[in-house]
Structure 1
């Protein structure tokens, strides 16, 4: 297949990621090399290789400080962000402050200390998804185009950081699509609704790290997002964190020992809590059992749903706030919602399901979509739409919205909103601002994002200065400020004094914490270099395994030949010692393999 006719949909999740391809007129969610349709968003580093997915999560107990996860909670954030500080105490890996407040992850890799940005770690997960799809589509397939999902409430900086991660992974993002919008695409696909029928669908998406709620009106093949709301720091990981805190305290009470400073012990306890949380979705009671948790002391405890809900009561209170906000912004009564769709693994928590059902007066949420795969499925549909292949039977148009208000700072640090939240995108909005003192020669345009009245409470997204203004009394010179937002929710701002013919613009992608083109180029080259190292390691492992198989065959031969095979046995023993005592490259291993194969061939003909 020609690579320019291929595009994939990727759900880059906090805890799990998923990839889909469009083939034979439908979406196929692709299983990874372990046969699973979702892949842990985990990356682990060792002295010999880099592991992604199940390989990384399976070895975390023995290598916690070099195993990275939850990176989606870091991407696009600053090191001093309160949520980053809060999460860091649960992470076994080391987080350090980089240039311009960038958070960096410090690990030991290939025998040396390395620092990776959240974007680089996310890029490794994206590469895994890309390669999973390429293997599925067959030899020689190369994929460069993708639609990648983000939480609807991701801000401009987080969206740009996701684009950076894709660039490092060698992917061209055709579109960033909001996760609940993708799920709505999945839900509406194949529905036998009449063209004149209008359906109001509320998507409730609670995953590992974020909560998004979107209200989507579907009519005549058009999905129009009317409003979106959410919480970028509420998900399954938070429920697990509260369980961990509870059992750390219980262990301390039982044994008078504090395990909170032992990353390996906390990680093992966290794994047990994660398993228990999942079990409580189907069972009323389960156990948290860890052998030799700390200083040889076994830990055993029980937890039931009532206790789980008590530990997380504050989180459950937050679960319905975005629903109320979303409906209020859309000015739609909850009674007029046709369908409620639950997406994300954390919606399997019985209390969450019950909260949503109770809010909608007992309406049973739809279970017609796979909660783990719906977002990737929708992203793949969007990819098929964008590819524009006439053979693709996709006739849907998506209209999305801006999740957060965009504006500028005016006198007194007041937030002057130019683009209100839930404005349909793409969009262009303009506003006139005037000088605030006589003969003002320049105007500083500070661009903010958020819903608070004062800019000090919102997020600064960028700033620039328009110089050479027409000199006049205050309030006379007018500057036209234009905000343009593209389909990905990326903001472009320009300011113009038409009278003086002065204009300046900025793409609010150039945040000082973001990467320059040169930095991204360097990261791409570094990723390719490490890819070569990983490939060499895989070759070595495979070659060693093949030699082990040959030695096994030779041992069987010596047993059959008995006394006449002492030389063969010496060769087996010598080869085993050679493998154990030497760092060998794939060429040396291949040469030894060929030698052994020749000897086996000669022996079998005697």
Structure 2
């Protein structure tokens, strides 16, 4: 069981949310502005780095230095074949890996959770932000958990979850019975979301090269879109938008729906695919649950309701908070919460794409070579190659005689383990597929964590460490012949000062890197408040 409190984070393309399961119920944690969702925005200025609401408020004034994953008003540079975001920060040109920007958002969310919970031992989510990973759960998992806890499902129910967010769209179909969730199918579009609706606004002039104008218009239109979700008219007014032109428009709900008609209707295609994959008729669906901020749009709701033969939509959970709500329950389960509400919940997930193999036995070495692929095409060469598993020492046999048994095992974190066994000899080989191509290595992540740590230790603390180091060095110079215990005592005293400062800065306490007997980091007992370094998928 974990020590401390486990929280969850739903980090979205446009907004993020954090929740915690306490006293038998989920609490969505508000940020320092009182908002229950925080913009997934980061900005870099001449003096500081801004995250969340403060960033979005200044985005039109500082568009180039505000990375926004879906709509790119910033430079992307090639660094040894890998993309990096380039911005101006404190008077210098700095570049960051894509993984670093969301880690900054996570750092902000971590601070929000700590302020609410009143402790710094909170354990959750991602490594670069200085966090311990309990589990990365899929959106269907969170969706099913939120629905089940809200409805107290007993008898079997088939549930279609419609998750339309700022930049992505997912449609999982699940069956839920007595606390057991089984994902039957999932479909969607990773390039469709609320920001695509925002980008449909047009004017007589092409302003795409003016980043300030683009961001200013984009922000104004997002506000108008939200207004149109609850009223029939919205106005936009921007002074000196572009080349001295003042931009004013009044948009009716009907006009907004006309501009996005094709995008709205395209949300029905993944629903049909999900139903087909689950081998279900839409009449068999018991409930349709809405997730994601874009499901507030009335036209989206009407299209969905008409498609499912007029069935009422489930709106009992706030779509903006629903995934965080469900993930908070999963965090409680993982941390050993004994509340009756979270007992006996079990999720059986599904792989979004079909998995397959192609096996061949090669002479004269007599080795079996299995290629693991994912995709929906008929032949392996047309699908995505995930990895290769090789078996050697297979006895000679005619073509078609060797029997190779291949087993796929997907763990709770979505990691695929493949084992291959020759049934005649019992020889076995296993591989783990993590899809780390183009991602950060363990060394990259460790480097980023240390860079983040160095930036957080203030000058006063640096002086404390330096003074203690100098004092220890002076002692060593004068005490070369003392007993080993004396050396170890000095080492402990130095580590006590350094680790206290490092821990408060969000780093990883441990033994000294060298210079003392047995100077490596001590074994972990699982209670360290520093991050656990793992390969990122």
Q: Same fold per TM (> 0.5)?
A: yes
| Alpha-carbon contact 1:251-1:299 (below 8 Å) kept | no
1:493-508 aligned at under 5 Å gives the runs 493-497=418-422, 503-508=428-433
User: Is 1:390 the counterpart of 2:338 in the alignment?
Assistant: yes
Q: Which of 204, 208, 216 is matched with 1:251 structurally?
A: 204
Could you report, residue by residue, the CA deviation over 1:118-149 in whole angstroms, capped at 9, with x for unpaired residues?
A: 211111112221221111011x4321235xxx
Q: Which of 242, 245, 250 is matched with 1:297 structurally?
A: 245
Tell me the SS of whatever aligns to 1:173: coil
Quote how far apart the aligned CAs of 1:26 are. Answer: 1.5
Q: What's the counterpart of residue 120 of structure 1?
A: 100
Could you report, residue by residue, the CA deviation over 1:506-562 in whole angstroms, capped at 9, with x for unpaired residues?
A: 3222533122211111121122233447999xxxxxxxxxxxxxxxxxxxxxxxxxx
Q: What's the counterpart of residue 111 of structure 2?
A: 131
For 1:535 and 1:408, how far apart are their aligned partners in 2? 58
Quote how far apart the aligned CAs of 1:3 are. Answer: 7.1
For 2:179 and 2:33, how far apart are their aligned partners in 1? 37
Quote how far apart the aligned CAs of 1:351 are. Answer: 1.4
Q: What's the counterpart of residue 360 of structure 2?
A: 434
TM-score, length of structure 1 as denominator length: 0.70
Q: What's the counterpart of residue 524 of structure 1?
A: 449
Q: Which of 336, 354, 357 is matched with 2:305 structurally?
A: 357
Quote how far apart the aligned CAs of 1:212 are. Answer: 1.2
Quote how far apart the aligned CAs of 1:379 are. Answer: 0.4
Q: Which of 84, 87, 91 is matched with 1:104 structurally?
A: 84
Q: Which moved more, 1:5-14 or 1:465-474?
A: 465-474
Q: What's the counterpart of residue 459 of structure 1?
A: 384
Alpha-carbon spacing, 1:48–1:396, altered in 2? closer, same or farther (3 Å): farther
For 1:515 and 1:267, how far apart are their aligned partners in 2? 30
1:325-474 aligned at under 5 Å gives the runs 325-391=273-339, 393-408=341-356, 410=358, 433-435=359-361, 438-439=363-364, 442=367, 445-455=370-380, 457-463=382-388, 470=395, 474=399
For 1:441 and 1:216, how far apart are their aligned partners in 2? 44
For 2:336 and 2:424, how far apart are their aligned partners in 1? 44
TM-score, length of structure 2 as denominator length: 0.79
Q: Which moved more, 1:474-483 or 1:170-179?
A: 474-483
Q: What's the counterpart of residue 76 of structure 2?
A: 95
Tell me the SS of whatever aligns to 2:273: helix
For 1:475 and 1:468, how far apart are their aligned partners in 2? 17
1:11-410 aligned at under 5 Å gives the runs 11-70=10-69, 90-100=71-81, 102-138=82-118, 140-146=119-125, 166-191=126-151, 193=153, 195=154, 197-243=155-201, 247=202, 250-252=203-205, 258-391=206-339, 393-408=341-356, 410=358
Quote how far apart the aligned CAs of 1:386 are. Answer: 1.6
Could you report, residue by residue, the CA deviation over 1:251-273 in whole angstroms, capped at 9, with x for unpaired residues?
A: 32xxxxx3211111111111122
Alpha-carbon spacing, 1:472–1:180, altered in 2? closer, same or farther (3 Å): closer
| Alpha-carbon contact 2:140-2:183 (below 8 Å) kept | no
Alpha-carbon spacing, 1:496–1:218, altered in 2? closer, same or farther (3 Å): closer
For 1:96 and 1:471, how far apart are their aligned partners in 2? 53
| Alpha-carbon contact 1:206-1:235 (below 8 Å) kept | yes
Quote how far apart the aligned CAs of 1:467 are. Answer: 5.4
Structure 1 segments unaligned to the other structure (5+ residues): 71-86, 147-165, 253-257, 411-432, 537-606
For 1:239 and 1:401, how far apart are their aligned partners in 2? 31
Quote how far apart the aligned CAs of 1:228 are. Answer: 1.8
For 2:175 and 2:310, how far apart are their aligned partners in 1? 21
For 2:187 and 2:277, how far apart are their aligned partners in 1? 9
For 2:298 and 2:266, how far apart are their aligned partners in 1? 16
| Alpha-carbon contact 1:434-1:475 (below 8 Å) kept | no
Quote how far apart the aligned CAs of 1:226 are. Answer: 2.1
Tell me the SS of whatever aligns to 2:64: helix
Q: What's the counterpart of residue 599 of structure 1?
A: none
Tell me the SS of whatever aligns to 1:64: coil
What's the C-alpha RMSD, in Å, of the aligned pairs? 2.7
Alpha-carbon spacing, 1:459–1:322, altered in 2? closer, same or farther (3 Å): same
Q: What's the counterpart of residue 156 of structure 1?
A: none
For 2:2 and 2:285, how far apart are their aligned partners in 1? 41
Alpha-carbon spacing, 1:389–1:276, altered in 2? closer, same or farther (3 Å): closer
Looking at secondary structure, tell me which structure has more helix per residue: 1
Quote how far apart the aligned CAs of 1:493 are. Answer: 2.5
| Alpha-carbon contact 1:495-1:503 (below 8 Å) kept | yes
Alpha-carbon spacing, 1:9–1:534, altered in 2? closer, same or farther (3 Å): farther
Quote how far apart the aligned CAs of 1:358 are. Answer: 0.2
Tell me the SS of whatever aligns to 2:183: strand
Alpha-carbon spacing, 1:269–1:200, altered in 2? closer, same or farther (3 Å): same
Tell me the SS of whatever aligns to 1:44: strand
For 1:289 and 1:469, how far apart are their aligned partners in 2? 74
Alpha-carbon spacing, 1:325–1:527, altered in 2? closer, same or farther (3 Å): same
For 1:485 and 1:192, how far apart are their aligned partners in 2? 28
